[in-house]
Amino acid sequence: MNNSECLEFDHLVIGSGVAGLSAALHLANAGYQVAVLSKRTVDEGNTKYAQGGIACVTDIQDTFDEHVQDTLIAGARLCKEAVVRQIVEAGPAAIRELIEDGIHFTTRGELGMTEEPGEYHLGREGGHHKRRILHAGDITGAELEETLIRTCRQHANITFFEYHIAIDLIVSQRIGIPGDNHCFGAYVLDVRGNTVKTFRSNTTTLACGGAGKVYLYTCNPDVSCGSGIAMGYRAGAKIVNMEFIQFHPTILYNPQMRSFLISEAVRGEGAVLKVRDTDGRYVEFMQKYHPMKSLAPRDVVARAIDNEMKRRGEECVYLDIRHVPEEKLKLRFPNIFEKCLESGINMSKDLIPVVPAAHFVCGGVETDVNGYTGIHGLYAVGECACTGLHGANRLASNSLLEGLVVSKFVAAHIQRALPSLKREPQALQVPVWSCGNATDSDEQVVIAHNWEEIRRFMWDYVGIFRTTKRLERAKARIKMIRKEIEKYYWDFYVTPDLLELRNIATVAELIIDSALSRKESRGLHYNADYPFLDPDLDGVDTVLQRSFRYYD
């Protein structure tokens, strides 16, 4: 593999989901040249697979205060209230812009609920006390992604780089420039050209999405390897609250089919969770766990399902929405209905077997509400970032809202900060990528083996139900594997698989370390050795930051 060219842009955006594309669009609209990197095709990422929708106060019966309260309750006293309020209140304007860009949200008329045209249907999901989810059928993410891609593609200031995987951020402290840490861009693997490019930019925005692939069972696509969090950590950014991993309670249970999400909106329209009892009858169980029953916040529902499955030795639980007529289900959930049918399940006649799986990382690269990381020129937005909106448990459908709103704040902050970031004299010293003495690997099996092992022990030891002993076991394993991967990383040319493995290993260790350091149970983090919430830890984040004494 050869070292190669250096490309210069005003701004670099790493990732092309809702957060990355909207950040790029706002920056491009301000007149800047923006490069957008995608690991695969532009549309491949978590956004495309989001089903539920965008939580936003648009109904006159609803208020910002109520949305804020629902978010704070789900977040288990770890949200930053001022941030929650800013994001919630900026929601309607962001939605209006999307509508101007041509997104189509489902109307009540389309569902046969009214003759009035133009009135949006609002869905409901776990933890929301009001209907406030704007949606496009049950493929909101795909509609959103398509709208943003279309708008970005029409913009002359945006250049897309597909099949380009960021390897690492170029920051002053890693290249030996003294003083405050500055980010000057990133080294990027051009997968098709099999070269490493140096992207130089005044600012870099991490919008790399989630890290579901750290776990054996996840509804995330293959690209969700935590690269933004891992690169942020290696660059010296603070990484916060990584113990809070959200497990979506209802993934279709079908060992032959790739993980498919059954949206919480299905419960919002009346589906009830049931489990098979010893007499073979299907009975409700959520009343034992929470007054909101099947619509309780996600952490409660996922833990309840996990508990029922383990207690009864069952492989799954069930969703029952058989009381809703087939025609209505097909209108409201066309995609889910179809996917269930492919799996031999007619939602209007059969119970839907479901299991929990890793879905969303609530922690990430610490930022303020403007996406600023504290490293000059480095921003993070979307799932890889942690603004304080989600706290210890994200409220359903708040993440697309966050991506849309914070990306706008990012662009505004960048414009304000730009005079001090432009033409840093040190930036001229950015070294191009060097592969040193690396050679082609003849041991691909090492990557496959470590990949498998990490994902399995993360599921078994660092999943929904944790104990200190299990976490310590996971820590011992990850330490060894990380050492092996780092050696491998320096000895051989980088490949997509090696980069993803390295990121997964870093993120796994961040999750384990964070989980070990939180000596309580709160929101999505449950440790049976510390089963209670400690009020002294209200509002206290878990913060991890690497030191630059060791270069890895």
Interacting residue ranges for ligand SIN, rule: CB under 6 A: 51-52, 263-265, 396-397, 399
Burial tier of 445 (Cβ tally within 10 Å: 0-12, 13-18, 19+): exposed
The dihedral formed by the CA atoms of 138, 141, 144 and 149, expressed in degrees to the nearest 10 = -140
User: In angstroms, rounded to a whole number, what is the distance separating the alpha carbons of residues 405 and 427?
Assistant: 30
CA distances from 2 to 194, 201, 438 (A): 8, 22, 11
Residue 263 CB, nearest approach to ligand SIN (Å): 3
Residue 53 CB, nearest approach to ligand SIN (Å): 7
> Encoding tokens for residue 16?
């092309």
Residue 381 CB, nearest approach to ligand SIN (Å): 17
Query: What is the distance in angstroms between the CA of the first residue and the CA of the last residue of the chain?
Result: 21
Residue 91 CB, nearest approach to ligand SIN (Å): 14
The dihedral formed by the CA atoms of 157, 163, 168 and 171, expressed in degrees to the nearest 10 = -10
Do the beta carbons of residue 245 and residue 394 sit within 8 Å?
A: no
Closest Cα to residue 488, out of 446, 530, 551, 430? Answer: 446
Closest Cα to residue 230, out of 505, 525, 19? Answer: 505
DSSP collapsed to 3 states, 441-471: CCCHHHHHHHHHHHHHHHHHHCCCCECHHHH
User: In angstroms, rounded to a whole number, what is the distance separating the alpha carbons of residues 309 and 347?
Assistant: 22
Does residue 549 have an active-site annotation? no
Nearer to ligand SIN, 11 or 359 (CB): 359
Residue 87 CB, nearest approach to ligand SIN (Å): 14
Residue 232 CB, nearest approach to ligand SIN (Å): 22
Residue 227 CB, nearest approach to ligand SIN (Å): 20
Closest Cα to residue 169, out of 187, 181, 182? Answer: 187
User: In angstroms, rounded to a whole number, what is the distance separating the alpha carbons of residues 462 and 243?
Assistant: 9
CA distances from 267 to 52, 113, 307 (A): 11, 19, 19
Beta strands in 207-324 (DSSP E): 239-240, 245-252, 272-276, 282-284, 317-320
Looking at 85, 267, 298, 502, which residue is catalytic?
A: 298
Closest Cα to residue 363, out of 387, 339, 342? Answer: 387
Nearer to ligand SIN, 231 or 362 (CB): 362
> Encoding tokens for residue 91?
């929601």
> Encoding tokens for residue 283?
């009975």
Nearer to ligand SIN, 35 or 208 (CB): 208
Nearer to ligand SIN, 397 or 527 (CB): 397
230 sits in which H/E element: helix 227-234
Query: DSSP class of residue 214?
Result: G
Residue 386 CB, nearest approach to ligand SIN (Å): 16
3-class DSSP state of 489? helix
Closest Cα to residue 78, out of 529, 513, 481, 520? Answer: 520
Residue 264 CB, nearest approach to ligand SIN (Å): 3
Nearer to ligand SIN, 292 or 438 (CB): 292
What one-character-per-residue DSSP string does 42-109 give?
TT-SHHHH--S-EE---STT--HHHHHHHHHHHTTT-S-HHHHHHHHHHHHHHHHHHHHTT--PPBTG
Find the residue with minimal CB distance to ligand SIN. 52
Nearer to ligand SIN, 241 or 495 (CB): 241
Q: Taking the alpha carbons of 329, 398, 139, 337 in that order, is the dihedral positive or negative? A: negative
Residue 315 CB, nearest approach to ligand SIN (Å): 21
Positions annotated as catalytic residues are: 298
